[in-house]
Amino acid sequence: MASDKSTSPSKGKTSVEMPVQVQAQSPAYDIDYEKHGAQREANPLPDLKRKLKSRHLQMIAIGGTIGTGLFIGSGTAIAHGGPVGALIAYVFVGTIVYSVMTALGEIATYIPIPGAFTSYAARLIDPSLGFAMGWIYWFSWASTFALELTATGLIIQFWDSSIPISIFIAVFWVVIIVFNMMPVAFYGEIEFWFASIKVITVIGFMIFSVCMNAGVGKEGYIGFRYWVDPGPFVPYLIEGNDSLAKFVGFWSTLIQAGFSYQGTELVGIAAGETENPRKTVPSAIRKTFFRIVFFFILTIFFLGIVVPSSDPGLLASQGDGASAQNANASPFVIAANRAGVMALPGIINAVLLTVVLSAANSNVYSGSRILVGLAQEGFAPHWFKITSKRGVPYYSVLFTAAFGLLGFLNVSDAGSTVFTWLLQISGVAGFITWSSLNACHLAFQRALRARNISRDILPYKALWQPWFSWYGLFFNILIILTQGFTAFIPHFQVKEFFINYLSLILFVVLYAGHKIIYRPAFVKPIEADLDTGRTTADNETWETIEPTTWYGKTWKWICGAYMFFSQPPHLAKAEELKKAPPKGVAYSVAIPGTEQPGRSRVYRAWNAQKELLTTLDPKVTTAHDMFESTANRQPKNHCLGWRPYNSTTKSFDPYQWLSYETVQKRRAALGAGLVELHHKHDCHRPGQYGIGLWAQNRPEWQITDLACISQSLYSVSIYDVLAPDATEYIINHAELHCVVTSLPHIPTLIKLKASLPNLKIIVSLDPLDAGEQDSLTKRALLESMAADQGLAIYTIDQVEELGLASKRGYNAPSASDIVTINYTSGTTGPPKGVVLTHGNAVAATSCGLITIAQARGDTIASYLPLAHIYARLAEHTAFWGGAKIGYFHGNIVELVDDLKLLKPTGFMSVPRLYSRFGSAIRSATVEQPGFKGTLSRHIIATKTANMKNPDPSKATVRHALYDRIWAKKVSAALGLERARYMVSGSAPLDPTLHNFLRVATGTDILQGYGLTESYASATAQSIHDLSAGNCGSLAPCVEACLASLPDMEYSVDDKPFPRGELLLRGNNMFREYYKNEEETRNAVTEDGWFRTGDVCTIDEKGRFIIIDRRKNVLKLAQGEYISPERLEGVVLAELGYIAQAYIHGDSMQTFLVGIFGVAPDLFAPYASKVLGKTIEPTAAAVKEYLGDDKLRRAVLADLERVAKKHKFAGYERVRNVSLKVEPFTVENNLLTPTLKLKRPPVVKVYRSLLDQLYEQATEEMSAPRAKL
């Protein structure tokens, strides 16, 4: 758990800046890097390029295993072990291989190192182990390269034995070097096609075997004849003891099977150069099981039924010379010869040539990357990790390839003896590597536990671990120790012993030598380096590239069909309800016969005319159900993410994630623990009661809210920046006994305790100690202070442990139960507690899914205060849609930094931020001089014309070319390049800004309307509608009508469209104001309509347009009514340098004045141009010039231009202004926590200034004008 830490201001220039800053708090699970010293900044990673595509890696994973071991060596396995013995051996070793691959998958996806996985041993266990493992594994690949070069000559001699082998060794040595000096994508492409040939051959043989077994060929019907005679098992080496001899045969086959599987781990080496390793590597690892079953076990099975174990040709591969390497030694050819198919040997020989070339290519690639890894760890000269501009480690490639020249030793008899000894060194290297990988995985798990990192956040979480790694480690070591048993049968043979165990002896020498010379210590779990390579991958985001090949498109279609038919019913229904209305039907439809005097007809969504929507799934009726259904459906998917604070770099690291399963378990434990606490402190009461929740957005906020829901409790949210008096009011009004909060608020609660008679329990979301002396911890200090006031303090960990110990299960709520009491921000008085039910939540969330097309695997950013119902609805929608939620790190000024890391697929915000986005985009594009500005203006003009195409079927905000070369970059500057949609709410979005952002980003931007009382859901634009200046149509869960306002001259009988106050009623509407019957009666009519206070009109397509506000209307001396919020919205949208706007009109005056807060970064260039001097873009520098009258007049001129553009009436034009930096803040009580102006307090605070503005304007307007 993390302690709160303040965030220092950004040192660099941020893309988007907001005027209100809040204290940043680090989320839970902070990692103390200073303690374990895991940063390796002084040793940068090699510059290898991630250019291997998913299809490359998939085929590399296959090609790495299908080789001469399968095509030729499998014959030896059947001859020594029999058909059943060989089959059992391959199955057994397959399980060992799978244990290694799943272990490797967890590490390689979490830390995809550019180089080689041999580094893991040095990081996690012991540098000496990494040294020995790396060098012996490298030697294995380098020496095997020489063998493969020799094999190419032997294979070609199958067709013409007169050609010297040495020629082919030289030619293919050069060819392989050229291949490996090309970019890694070239290697991947070659392996893709080589592996494809292998796969086709194996599949073809299986089909051939089925036909042969059924009677095709001269053998006739075979069935399982050879399993009976010569038998399922074969005696080997031992005489006189048939059972022991058969076991020895089985064990020798076990070893042969192990050699056949070697190369599977190549996926781990390629992971560091793979695009999107977090996605492609797990996919390749998961398919390992199917590769083992399909390509190995089935092949051995088919060979065992069509070739008898007594066939003398099966042992040809153990001979010397050409027969040991060409097609005649292959059991595939033996099967064909027995069936009478004489053309097959030539075909198999050609396949064998591709097999050895593929192996040789992989030898050099793998060996060079292992050298890179060794150099990275300091076990080899540093120049081995030097790369070309294209990411090729050319020194490592050349050094590894040089060992291929050893192939010439095999040409002479004397040299072949030396060559044979060298090859024996590589023989057991694969088993040593496998056992090391199993050991590394066990150490990796210990390191995770030491840091309190859950395996649930791993990109790939394997089944049966860590027990599967123990299983693999034991049997790998057993095989290593027993693989040379032939040296002891029938008697001990010294030469045979050293040949078989030379690699193990060399490994021990390397390990002991490094340990003696350098004396490195074993790595402690807390000190294991889990970060070098991981943080780089965390910062990378990969686009999903559409397939271009026929097989890629076919696979995508198959996957798409599966996803369609397996789509959860609620998402399928949401897709159905998202459709545009039929031609000629409005989005919102007036129901005939529902009008009343002074009211319009009742409007409903076109697809909900008969019945309002309650839920998308009848089985889901509560917020509890929404989360549970997703958590049970996709437990391993990411759910909640945060950026841990790094105490070494004094910054926030990339996102880490909790899975749905982990959140589900934690919320269940926390919910039970909260109930237990209330029992313990004698404040539990029957029925529902509230839990206060006072914190900034973070995973624990949502876990706490879900915990309340799990026990039929409800949360009472308190804005993180709320003043103490407002906090006191809410806690007392809601009668809260317990408040869950972050560390900075605990002292405030203790101070307020004297006026909070009900409060007994405080639960801290942050740890209260960090290794200090017991008497000096924050816990000791705070508990002492709290005890004096009759308070008990617990941490969230303690409450979860209490809940687990209680064994208390869920106490699931019903639809009519309260889900939350959400207090309004209180612009005109004390906050009102809006009582919202689970039924309201489900109805509103259902409509949210219809609006935004939430898809499983989506990502949303959470930064709008969760105490606001708008943000709460966004996260409900994410949960039910199966998305993941990434929380901003706490500093709103650096929000774009979070977005660039998170790359959300959807973004929900408010006009205030969109206005800043628009200003920043304009400044960087269309307002630029020269070619850049010209091109940007042309693109905007072209895309705007396309968007306004009169044919709706052709209207679009996207452009095939301009989105790629321009709009994508614009969105990327904001971190929104993956966003499919953006939503604006809370206030009207200026139409000009709306359309500009649509075409600038090429994204669907939807405007909606909702209130706390409507669970933030009422109207929203359809993705099929590209209009602006309206809030869209009704959600299917709510109905609406308009009520005439005679005093404001709005009538439902107005033409061409009705106008009046918007009234709402539906399944999403609140139940009441908590303990406030009078306000409830004032807000809700006798027939259940809620008076919103917003004045609307409804156009011919059933879209709602807010035109005024009943409660915030000014009446000037001449009797004209003015809506200042509408004017302020236009000014903020048009003038990017204005960050805050307050327009004021006195009833005794005939004109308006204003107080405007400027954005220093955008106002400084503007002021510099007006004043003809350079002004730094800082608040202090800008403040010095705000009193300059020349600036005031320039701003007034801009306001006049905006007024003319929008055709403001004369009395709607601002005649005088005062410019300030942040005149309205939450701290000075002039903004609500949702950043809305508190108009009465503003007037009170700035009364004197407003009077001065009127006086100055009156003097200027009455002054005589100069005549020409």
Highest mean pLDDT among 174-188, 265-279, 382-396, 862-876: 862-876
Please state which CATH number belongs to domain 1114-1262.
3.30.300.30
Asked if 697 and 871 count as a contact pair (C-beta separation under 8 A), the reply is yes
Is-above-0.75 flag for pTM?
A: no
Mean pLDDT of 391-418: 74
Half-sphere exposure at residue 667, Cβ-oriented, CA atoms within 13 angstroms: 31
- What pLDDT sits at residue 101? 85
Pairwise CA distance, residues 682 & 673, whole Å? 14
What pLDDT digit, counting tens, does each position of 1023-1049 carry? 889 999 999 999 999 999 999 998 778
Maximum Cα–Cα distance across the chain: 130
Per-residue pLDDT, 8 = 32
H or E segment at 1241?
helix 1239-1245
463 and 286 in contact (C-beta within 8 Å)?
A: no
662 or 26, which is more confident?
662
Please state, in angstroms and rounded to a whole number, the distance separating the CA atoms of residues 4 and 645.
9
Residue of 165 and 1080 predicted with greater confidence: 1080
pLDDT at 209: 86
16 vs 1010: which has the higher pLDDT: 1010
Q: Label residue 825 by pLDDT band (50, 70, 90).
A: low
Q: Render pLDDT for 11-55 as a digit per residue (tens, 0 to 9).
A: 333 333 333 333 333 333 333 333 333 334 445 556 677 677 767
Q: Per-residue pLDDT for 322 more than 60?
A: no
Pseudo-torsion of CA 465, 469, 475, 478, nearest 10°? -150
Under DSSP, the state recorded for 296 is: I
Distance between CA 484 and CA 494 in Å, rounded?
A: 11
CA pair distance 87, 68, nearest whole angstrom: 18
Check if CATH label 2.30.38.10 holds for domain 589-610+1036-1111.
yes
Confidence (pLDDT) at 303: 87
First to last CA, the chain: 75
User: Who wins on pLDDT, 713 or 1238?
Assistant: 713
pLDDT tens digit sequence for 877-887? 999 999 999 99
Mean pLDDT value across the chain: 83
Question: What pLDDT does 369 receive?
Answer: 84
pLDDT tens for residues 897-910? 999 999 999 999 98
Structure confidence by residue, pLDDT tens digits, 140-188? 888 778 777 777 777 777 777 777 778 878 888 898 889 888 888 888 8
| Structure-model confidence comparison of residues 1062 and 533, the more confident one | 1062
Q: Which residues contact 631 (CB under 8 A, 6 or more apart)?
A: 639, 660, 661, 663, 664
Return the minimum-mean-pLDDT range out of 110-119, 867-876, 1078-1087, 1090-1099. 110-119
Lowest mean pLDDT among 417-426, 909-918, 965-974: 417-426
* Arithmetic mean of pLDDT, 354-377: 83
**For position 1267, what pLDDT does the model report?**
41
- The pLDDT of residue 287 is 66
What pLDDT score was predicted for residue 1136? 86
Label residue 950 by pLDDT band (50, 70, 90). confident
Superfamily of domain 54-518: Amino acid/polyamine transporter I (1.20.1740.10)
Is pLDDT above 70 for 552?
Answer: no
Residue 1105 in this model has a pLDDT that exceeds 80 = yes
Over residues 311-316, mean pLDDT = 74
Mean pLDDT of 318-336: 61
Q: What is the pLDDT averaged over residues 938-955?
A: 91
CATH architecture of 623-878: 3-Layer(aba) Sandwich (3.40)
Q: Indicate the range of 407-411, 417-421, 678-682, 742-746 predicted with least confidence.
A: 417-421
By the 10 Å C-beta count (0-12 exposed, 13-18 middle, 19+ buried), 947 is classed as: middle
DSSP string, 959-1022: -TTHIIIIIHHHHHHHT-TT-SEEEE-SSPPPHHHHHHHHHHHT-EEEEEE--GGGTT-SEE--
Among residues of the chain, what percentage have pLDDT more than 90?
A: 40
Mean pLDDT of 378-402: 86
Of 24 and 1133, more confident: 1133
Residue 1259: predicted pLDDT: 87
CA distance 509 to 503: 10
Across 807-837, b (16+ Cβ under 10 Å) vs e yields ebeeeebebebbbbbbbbbbbeeebbbbbbb
Q: In 3-state terms, what secondary structure has residue 481?
A: helix
Segments making up each domain of the chain, as ranges:
54-518, 589-610+1036-1111, 623-878, 1114-1262
**Helix 869-881, helix 838-852: angle, nearest 10:** 70
Q: What is the dihedral of CA 1175, 1180, 1184, 1189, to 10 degrees?
A: 80
DSSP structural state of residue 297: I
Question: 494-503: per-residue pLDDT in tens?
Answer: 877 877 787 8
Domains 54-518 and 623-878 share a fold: no
Q: How confident is the model at residue 1250 (pLDDT cuts 50, 70, 90)?
A: very high
- Which of 19-28, 539-548, 1013-1022 is modeled with the greatest confidence? 1013-1022
Report which of residues 295 and 471 the model is more confident about. 471
